[in-house]
Amino acid sequence: MENGQGVMDLADEWGHEELIFVRDRAAGLRAVIAIHDTTLGPAVGGTRMRMYPSIEAAAIDALRLSRAMTCKAAMAEMAWGGAKAVIVGDPQRDKTPVLIAAYADVLNRIGHFHTGADMGIDGGDVAALGRLTKHISQVPAGSSVDAADLTAIGVVEAMRATAAAMGANQGDLRVAIQGLGEVGWRLACRLASEGVRLLVADTDGAKVRRAITELGARAVSTDSILDVEADVFSPNAGGGILNDATIPRLRCRAIVGAANEQLAEPRHGDLLHDRGIIYAPDYVVNAGGLLSLLYETGETDEPGIIARVTRIGRTVATLLERSETDRLPPHRLADKMVEEKLAAARKILTSSIA
C-alpha cells in the first residue's frame, strides 16, 4: 500500500473512473485494468506484463500508470482518456497463447478500453491479440512506423530541447541510458547517429554487448548507471527510478527518458529541482507511442506523424522556459497545465449537457 492507503482509497484520491480486477484460473490470467479519466476521450493505455509482489502492488501500478496516460494525452493534445492494464506474471514463463486469448476475451467484454504494447508485451503478442480483438493498437502491416520508434524520436527531440536549455548541443552530450529494450535501443541508435557519446546499462548482457559493438557505447553496470558522470541520464526501463536512494547519487545535469512514472513521488521532482537537475516530465517526453494512434487511425500520414512527434521537443522547450519564469519545477507546471486542460474540457462538457 502507498502511504498505508488501500487501493480503493488511492483510486478515489486520484479520481479514477473504474478499476477492474481480472482472474481466469484456467488460463492463468491475473490482471488489473484501471481507467482514470475519459473527459478528453475514450480510454487508452498500454498493457504491461511483469511480476508483482501482490495483486495490490499490481493495482497501484495500474492506477499510477493510467493517471499518467491521462496527463500524456492532455499534454499531447489528443482526444483520448487515460487507462492502463497490467498482467501479473513473468512474460518469459507465463505468457502462453491461452493467456493471450483469455486477455483478448477480457478486452472484448470490456469493450471501452483500447490498449497496446508496454513492458513485457511485444509485437508478436500484439499481432496475436489483434487476431482476436479490435481493442488493440497495431500499425498497418508493411508500415515503417512503429510505436517504440516514435517514442524514441520523441525522447531525442525532448533531449535536444533540454540540451538547448542547458546551453549545449545535442551532439556534444554524454548520455547515460538505462535500459536497451524496445525504446532504449532505438533511442541509442538515433543518438549515436548524431554523435552522442553513450554510456549504457541493461540487465541483459547481450543488449549491452550489441551497443558496444554496433554503436561504440561504453558499458556501465546496472548499479553505476545511476552515478556515472553524464550530461543526461535517460531512464528507459522500470518506473520509480527517481527516489530518495537514487537522487543523491545522480551526477547528471538533466533527466530525459521514456520510462513511465519515473518519479517515485512528486516530491522527488522537487528534490531534483533543488539539486539543479532539469527533469523533463516523463509523460511529456514519452508521448510518441500514444501519438502513433493518430497514424494508425488514418488521422495523419507517415510524415505527419513524425512531425507531430517532433513537436514534443517544442512542448518541452516551452515547459522548461515557463518553469524558469513561473519558478515552478517542470513536473509541477506540467501537472498544473493538465489540470487546467481537464477543467476546461469538463466545463465545455457540462455546458453542452445543461
Interaction site with ligand NAI (CB under 6 A):
117-119, 147-148, 151, 178-184, 201-204, 207, 222, 236-239, 258-260, 286, 289
Which three cell numbers, joined as nine digits, stand for 135? 481493442
Q: What is the CB-side half-sphere exposure of residue 172 using CA atoms within 13 A?
A: 7
If you write DSSP's letter for every residue of 142-158 in order, what string do you get? T-S--HHHHHHHHHHHH
d(CA 64, CA 272): 20
- Output 204 or 326, the one with its CB closest to ligand NAI: 204
Minimum CB separation of residue 321 from ligand NAI in Å reads 24
Asked if 90 contacts 302 with a C-beta cutoff of 8 angstroms, the reply is no
Residue of closest CB approach to ligand NAI? 181
Least distance in angstroms from the C-beta of 200 to ligand NAI: 9
Residue 270 CB, shortest distance to ligand NAI, in Å, is 22
Query: Which residue among the candidates 84, 336, 341, 347 is catalytic per the annotation?
Result: 84
Nearer to ligand NAI, 166 or 306 (CB): 306
Q: How does 174-210 read in b/e, with b if 16+ C-beta sit within 10 Å?
A: ebbbbbbbbbbbbbbbbbbeeebbbbbbbeeeebbeb
Q: Which is closer to ligand NAI, CB of 204 or CB of 321? A: 204
Active site residue 84: yes
Pick between residue 104 and residue 290 the one whose CB is nearest to ligand NAI.
Answer: 290
CB of 207 to ligand NAI, least distance (A): 5
Comparing CB distances to ligand NAI, the nearer of 94 and 105 is 94
Whether the Cβ atoms of residue 129 and residue 136 lie closer than 8 Å to each other: yes
Q: Which is nearer to ligand NAI, 65 or 99 (CB)?
A: 65
- Rounded CA-CA distance 183/282 in Å is 14
> Could you tell me the smallest distance in angstroms from the CB atom of residue 204 to ligand NAI?
4
d(CA 91, CA 328): 40
Dihedral sign of CA atoms 41, 42, 46, 52 in order:
positive
The DSSP bridge pattern shows strands 197-201 and 278-279 to be: unpaired
Q: What nine digits make up the cell of 185?
A: 535501443
Residue type, 350: T
Least CB distance to ligand NAI at residue 319 (A): 18
| CA count, 13 A, side-chain hemisphere, 141 | 3
Cα(162)–Cα(191) distance, rounded to whole angstroms?
Answer: 14
Please identify every residue annotated as catalytic.
Answer: 84
